[in-house]
Structure 1
Amino acid sequence: MNEEKNFSHWTLEKDPNNFVWLNLNVQESSANVLSADVLSEFHKIVESLHLDHPKGLVIYSGKENGFIMGADIKGFIGMADENKAYELIRQGQQVLESFVSLSCPKIAVINGFALGGGLELAMACDYRIGIDSNKPILGLPEVKLGLHPGFGGTVRTIEICGVRPAMKLMLTGKSITLKKAYQIGLIDKISNSEDWQNHAKSIIKTKPKKKMAPLIERILNLKPLRGFIAKTLNAQVASKANKNHYPAPFSMIDLWLKHGANPKTAYQAEARSMAKLICSNTGRNLVRLFFLQNKMKSQFKKIEANINNVHVIGAGVMGGDIASWCALKGLNVTLQDRSLEDIAPAIKRCKILFEKRIKDEEKRKNALSRLQVDVNGDGIAKADLIIEAIFENIKAKKDLYNKIENKMKPSAILATNTSSILLEDLRSDLAKPEKFIGIHFFNPVSQLPLVEIIKCDDTDQSAIDVGLEFVKIVAKSPLLCKSSEGFVVNRLLGPYMAEAMHLAREGVGLTDIDNAAVNFGMPMGPVELVDTVGIDVALNVSKVLGKAYNRTVPDELAQMVESKKLGKKSGEGFYKWVSGKAIKPEPASPDLISDDIEDRLILPMVNEAIKCLNDGIVSDGDMLDIGVIFGTGFAPFRGGPIQYAKDRGVKNVISSLDSLAQKYGDRFKPSSAWSNIS
């Protein structure tokens, strides 16, 4: 007869062989996470097992969706005391150290996602069995949160896999498949849902030799060689991340360089390093961003909207790429434009996208078959959602709506991909204006995660639900916005790009302007951004925003459009473009560059953000922050424009804007809405 003990989250069962089967099923949670309560119970169980002396221990999950998703990091949000953070991390490490010291064989059975702290717990076991899956389910993604493993992962990964596989796993934060994990020694056996218990029993009885890093990897871990490897690793990371902006990967390398995964010193060093990262602005902001992503996704709950067929009108860069993305994500799509010749470039781009994203030839053919050329607009009648993506002209858009509205089925929703025009101006002649929404993608569609869902005060909730459900289907992140010129993202980008034009007129080099923004943490500078978006698009948006917010439209844009210098798509804009890359002149000497360029570029965007929030364009500052990060690439480690202002100090932001206004003009005048921010 089996002996069973129940805890809140764990169930312990001892069989006649004195094998302990420990099941984790975290209550009131869809997935297993290592919260303080879960770890506290685990610690009590481990202490009791030290007295009971079982012959073997198997940890497995009671959740169908996986083993353990990771540690619960909510308790670290906003933490500023490094010593307190260190104590909490060490407590977790010590629980695992006590677990490791159990004399019996310990096995983790991984039936799905084992991430972060979940994988660290699995690595604390002597053996790991994976339940067969082709998905990438094992990973240490902490680096994406500005952190690194803190439950001994920086030590045990190297001990088990070796320096190179371990560093790749930790520095990239990417998950790997069971097959790959088996190849690098992270998994001992791949089993299935029927046989894993027998395999676990066999391992307990036979006690096979535990996995350890191959000889070459152990040699590379020797102190004389670590410096050479660390230098290479640092160079690789530096090519992708600025150490001042994202210190976590460099900290991991430094930990290994100094301690070589030596348990005597490395665990405490890991805890100290982790505590420092958690309490840094970068760590706090990236952890906050993680939770804001979940908040954004929560908008998808309890939505009932049936979307199978999408009709896109306008096969330009945006419309064509939206159609391709929809087909890639499983929707049936019809793409309409004036002629086959107008649609052909979009189909060509679609094929390139699918070749990159879909490796299986049969699946690629199926995806391509879901995108149909439709010059006559026959797909309108059966479409659940019609997306208009023609050029930015109010009359042209309204004329189009007049032609197609009667062809739509009663339940269909009409949406526009306009980047800046008021919905009220577009929907005025519609029979059902309350069913009209904005669904604004960003270029390039395949790379930028944000989609703005635009509504008016009287927009029907069912129409908004269709927009949200559509965004969910195509795996994007929705930002619900009130209709206003430029919405959120383009409204904030306007003064950012306009200031770049001011700087250029003053003689500041274009490369120096872009470098200042990149040094702040932007993915690209404003000049390169204008070229990438398209000079013609930037001109149209500038006209709309200029009229709405009393801004000057840069003369350069109209002159360049007249000369057909449209940026990247035409091969020349502010820069010349070769093979998709901007050819930039050499930057000026740093001592010749004004030290206020960064503030001149960034603070107008931050100032506009507070105005946008005050105008009620988005629901709260959190949503504005994550929307701007996803839509503009605003430096994620800065936390978004509102959080950046708080971290910098609102008083400092206001005084800096005042100084810039006195020096360069009223466009820098701080908004009165700053008084609402604490």
Structure 2
Amino acid sequence: MSALDTLSHWRLARDPDGLAWLTFDRAASAVNALSADTMAELALVLDALDKDPPKGLVIRSGKPTGFIVGADVNEFASLDTPEQGRALVARGWNLFNRLAAVRYPTLALIQGHCLGGGLELALACRYRLVADQPGVSLALPEVMLGIFPGWGGMLRLPRLIGAPAALDMMLTGRGADARRAATLGLADARVPPRLLEAAARATVLSGKPARQARGLAAWTNRWPLKAIVANRARKQIAAKDPLGHYPAAPAIVTLWERHDGDAQRAPSLIDGIIASDTARNLLRVFRLQERLKANGRQPGAAPAQRIHVVGAGVMGGDIAAWCAYKGLTVTLQDQDMARIAPAIKRAATLYARRLKDPRAARAAMDRLIPDPAGTGAALADIVIEAISEQPEAKLALYRALEPRMKPDAVLATNTSSLSLETLRAGLARPERLVGIHFFNPVAKMPLVEVVHADGTAADALARASAFVGQIDKLALPVKSAPGFLVNAVLAPYMLQAMRSVDAGVAPAAIDAALVAFGMPMGPLELADTVGLDIARAAGEELAGGQEPPRCLAERLSRGQLGRKTGQGFYAWRDGKPVKDKPGASAAPAGLAAGLIQPLIDATRQRVDQGIVADADLADAGVIFGTGFAPFTGGPLHYQGRTNT
């Protein structure tokens, strides 16, 4: 028996042309992840091929879920000593260097996700082909876990596509789809799925030299341009993270600039990054995200095919547009075409920006169907109501909709404040009403609260959660209660910020303090973005009868509602707030901690009241629903660590 006969995760086959086809199909796993045992087996394969070299090697996935999703994050979580961290880096670095040095041509055949260590493996191959289809993503997202791509990505990606583009990918974690991968030179070509094997065969036998950056892109990897690029990257990092909450980003720049991407030349950096609180907390956030994704996988829940949305305002129109973008057939109802037209225009802008390919954008537009008469309600698997927050109007709409809906259809409301108990009064089948609460802007905000009440049918809740997962959002189950989770914790946070304005602190100083803490935007800019009228309504319901802040009442009396009227706490120009220059106003010491505390307290109350199942889910909801500083691990986790 040869060593290849003992493989559990890889299958090696040779064809009559002398090509070797290596299929990665990790045992007992839905996805391919690189672990100690899978990499040890890959080393055995390379041993065998050293003894009997093929004419070429094609590496592909045996999983329908994609190529390789990266390294096994559980192995990062189990690192206890600096020596273990260094050994993990060395394992991948040495193995992929060995793959890059083989005598025969190699090719990575990529479908679906090719992330982290998976992309580093692909970069070690001479060629890369990507399937020209939705769902392809090539990325080095390690920075989002508080670590760095230590298995050759920091060396090979800049040499392939130039340092500026490579650093942008590594410092943001953003992925490239098939079109962008080919444009960047990250992939040799994008190929229709039916032609992948033939294209792989032709490419690996072509004898073409490996791609590499040319012209100015190549010179950015050499002095003196290398230093200029590195210094520019450091300035951008410092501007986004002035307090240095995320140490992996500057470490990536240093490792590329001074050590050719080889982290082993800077062992103290390895030790510091892997042992940092940030890395542990971002790994926690990753696991919380996976838990939310699991809520969107409901065994037995049939995928939705048709969606009917009533209400073509900003929320309803954007929900409909997103569903069509994700491949569903959507009918969008409002009183007349004049009300629907702005939503269609926004959808066209979204598709043009996201899809790039005019044919794909046109196909998405074809799936979004204006429906003033509401005929689509009778065919829909899920009917989503997104009209104004007036109980009487919603109840009247439900009375008209319910008799026309399919018997097994789910009725959902996007309400942000009204209880399901109020809204299901008078329904013939109240058990099928659920809340599916999106956040604005729909295309950017990943979280969706799936709201249930006593008596909600388990099947309706499961199908609503599955629908959220189907459109690539994160499903958070919450009980019906004022503000659910996210709005309930944001309201006291924003109100406390407004009381600081009443106390004489400048809005720009307040927002700057919270951005420095790690929030994506300050509470007053957020209030302006949401709308001061909406902030007041939420505050009235959740403030326990307290008087609204004076600064809020004054602005509302002048009709200054924030971004939508061009004036709130800030003047708004071209969709952006006009703020004081840095240093023009200062925040008192401890301001950020004082403003964050009401948010933390409200989060704890939601858990204690059973609105959300546990503290971990509450942390997940607040992180993905408000952008709460991810490096903290979530508000309750953060408070627990600061109190110890």
TM-score, normalised via structure 1 length: 0.84
Deviation at 1:251, TM superposition (A): 1.3
Aligned residue in 2 for 1:82: 82
Task: Give the length in aligned residue pairs.
Answer: 636
Matches within 5 A, 1:257-656: 257-261=257-261, 266-269=262-265, 272-299=268-295, 300-305=297-302, 307-547=304-544, 551-586=546-581, 593-648=587-642, 650-651=643-644
Classify 1:67/1:538 alpha carbon distance in 2 versus 1 (closer, same or farther; 3 Å).
closer
Q: Distance in 2 between matches of 1:90 and 1:363?
A: 43
SS of 2:5's equivalent? strand
Native 8 Å contact 1:492 1:605 kept in 2: yes
Q: Distance in 2 between matches of 1:252 and 1:394?
A: 53
Q: Distance in 1 between matches of 2:590 and 2:499?
A: 13
Q: Distance in 2 between matches of 1:358 and 1:177?
A: 10
Q: Distance in 1 between matches of 2:3 and 2:549?
A: 78
Classify 1:117/1:378 alpha carbon distance in 2 versus 1 (closer, same or farther; 3 Å).
closer
Q: Out of 106-115 and 426-435, give the one that drifted further.
A: 106-115
Native 8 Å contact 1:60 1:67 kept in 2: no
Aligned residue in 1 for 2:170: 170
Query: CA offsets per residue over residues 60-102 of structure 1, 9 Å max, x none?
Result: 2351544433211211126464343123222333344455565
Q: Distance in 2 between matches of 1:351 and 1:179?
A: 20
Q: Distance in 2 between matches of 1:366 and 1:201?
A: 34
TM-score, normalised via structure 2 length: 0.88
Q: Distance in 2 between matches of 1:130 and 1:295?
A: 32
SS of 1:195's equivalent? helix
Q: Which amino acid aligns with 2:528?
A: D
SS of 2:40's equivalent? helix
Q: Distance in 1 between matches of 2:187 and 2:582?
A: 50
Native 8 Å contact 2:23 2:62 kept in 1: no
Q: Distance in 2 between matches of 1:461 and 1:22?
A: 44
Native 8 Å contact 1:314 1:320 kept in 2: yes
Q: Distance in 2 between matches of 1:585 and 1:220?
A: 36
Deviation at 1:183, TM superposition (A): 6.7
Q: Distance in 2 between matches of 1:365 and 1:17?
A: 42
Aligned residue in 1 for 2:72: 72
Q: Distance in 1 between matches of 2:308 and 2:32?
A: 41
Structure with the greater alpha carbon radius of gyration:
1
Native 8 Å contact 1:434 1:460 kept in 2: yes
Deviation at 1:42, TM superposition (A): 2.8
Q: Distance in 2 between matches of 1:276 and 1:332?
A: 49
Aligned residue in 2 for 1:661: none
SS of 1:254's equivalent? helix
Q: Out of 332-341 and 562-571, give the one that drifted further.
A: 332-341
Deviation at 1:484, TM superposition (A): 1.1
Q: Which amino acid aligns with 2:615?
A: G
Structure 1 stretches lacking a partner, 5+ long: 652-678
Deviation at 1:442, TM superposition (A): 0.8
Classify 1:101/1:79 alpha carbon distance in 2 versus 1 (closer, same or farther; 3 Å).
same
Classify 1:34/1:224 alpha carbon distance in 2 versus 1 (closer, same or farther; 3 Å).
same
Q: Distance in 1 between matches of 2:559 and 2:438?
A: 25
Classify 1:529/1:62 alpha carbon distance in 2 versus 1 (closer, same or farther; 3 Å).
closer
Aligned residue in 1 for 2:107: 108
Q: Distance in 2 between matches of 1:438 and 1:151?
A: 44
Identity %: 39
Query: CA offsets per residue over residues 24-44 of structure 1, 9 Å max, x none?
Result: 322112332211111222334
Structure 2 stretches lacking a partner, 5+ long: none
Q: Out of 497-506 and 175-184, give the one that drifted further.
A: 175-184
Aligned residue in 1 for 2:60: 61
Native 8 Å contact 2:107 2:204 kept in 1: no
Deviation at 1:391, TM superposition (A): 2.4
Q: Distance in 2 between matches of 1:406 and 1:83?
A: 66
Matches within 5 A, 1:93-172: 93-99=93-99, 104-105=103-104, 107-112=106-111, 113-125=113-125, 127-130=126-129, 133=132, 136-172=136-172
Native 8 Å contact 1:314 1:390 kept in 2: yes
Give the RMSD, CA atoms, in angstroms: 3.3
Aligned residue in 2 for 1:42: 42
Q: Which amino acid aligns with 2:603?
A: A
Deviation at 1:416, TM superposition (A): 1.7
Query: CA offsets per residue over residues 143-187 of structure 1, 9 Å max, x none?
Result: 232222111221233445543454344334333466765676655
Query: CA offsets per residue over residues 221-269 of structure 1, 9 Å max, x none?
Result: 34444322211232344455556133323211111222245xxxx3413
Q: Distance in 1 between matches of 2:215 and 2:270?
A: 29
Q: Distance in 2 between matches of 1:22 and 1:376?
A: 55
Q: Which amino acid aligns with 1:85?
A: G
Q: Distance in 1 between matches of 2:379 and 2:58?
A: 52
Classify 1:475/1:612 alpha carbon distance in 2 versus 1 (closer, same or farther; 3 Å).
same
Q: Distance in 2 between matches of 1:319 and 1:187?
A: 38
Q: Distance in 2 between matches of 1:118 and 1:91?
A: 14
Aligned residue in 2 for 1:654: none
Q: Which amino acid aligns with 1:609?
A: T
Q: Distance in 1 between matches of 2:638 and 2:472?
A: 28
Deviation at 1:543, TM superposition (A): 1.9
SS of 2:572's equivalent? strand
Q: Distance in 1 between matches of 2:343 and 2:216?
A: 50
Classify 1:91/1:553 alpha carbon distance in 2 versus 1 (closer, same or farther; 3 Å).
same
Deviation at 1:504, TM superposition (A): 0.7
Aligned residue in 1 for 2:198: 195
Q: Distance in 2 between matches of 1:285 and 1:301?
A: 28
Q: Out of 348-357 and 244-253, give the one that drifted further.
A: 348-357
Q: Distance in 2 between matches of 1:235 and 1:356?
A: 28
SS of 2:407's equivalent? coil
Classify 1:22/1:245 alpha carbon distance in 2 versus 1 (closer, same or farther; 3 Å).
same
Native 8 Å contact 1:453 1:479 kept in 2: yes
Q: Distance in 2 between matches of 1:324 and 1:9?
A: 41
